[in-house]
Structure 1
Amino acid sequence: MPLNVIVQIKDEDKVMQGLRSVINLYNDLKDAVIEVVFHQSAIKALLKDSNFREIIEDLMSKGIIIVGCENSIKAQKIKEDSLISGIRIVTSGVGEIVRKQSEGWIYLVV
Structure 2
Amino acid sequence: MKNLFKYFAILIAVASFKSASAQTKGSDFKGAEATKAHYKALYFVDDTASAKIKMTLRNINNALEDPRIKGKVEIELVAFAGGYTMFLKSNPYQETLLALQAKGVILAECENTIKERKIDKATLFDFIGYVPSGNGEIIIRGNEGWTIVHP
Q: TM-score range by the shorter chain?
A: over 0.9
- In the alignment, what sits opposite 1:3? 39
- In the alignment, what sits opposite 1:12? 48
State how far apart, in whole Å, the 2-side matches of 1:71 and 1:88 are.
Answer: 13
Matched, 1:79 2:120: yes
- How many positions carry a matched residue from both structures? 110
Matched, 1:99 2:137: no
CA offset at residue 47 of structure 1? 1.4
CA offset at residue 40 of structure 1? 0.9
- In the alignment, what sits opposite 2:27? none
CA offset at residue 79 of structure 1? 1.2
CA RMSD in angstroms comes to: 1.2
Which structure dedicates a bigger proportion of its chain to strand?
1
Which runs of no fewer than 5 residues in structure 2 stay unpaired? 1-36
The structure whose Rg is larger is 2
Which structure dedicates a bigger proportion of its chain to helix?
2
- In the alignment, what sits opposite 1:108? 149
Deviations for 1:26-72, whole angstroms, at most 9, x for unmatched residues?
Answer: 11132200001111101111012221111111111111001101111
State the secondary structure of the residue aligned to 2:90.
coil
Percent of aligned positions that are identical: 32
AA aligned to 2:137 is E
- In the alignment, what sits opposite 2:108? 67
Matched, 1:21 2:59: yes
**1:53 aligned to 77, 81, 94, which one?**
94
CA offset at residue 3 of structure 1? 0.1
Runs (4 or more) in structure 1 with deviation over 2 Å come to 74-77
Question: TM-score, normalised to structure 2's length?
Answer: 0.69
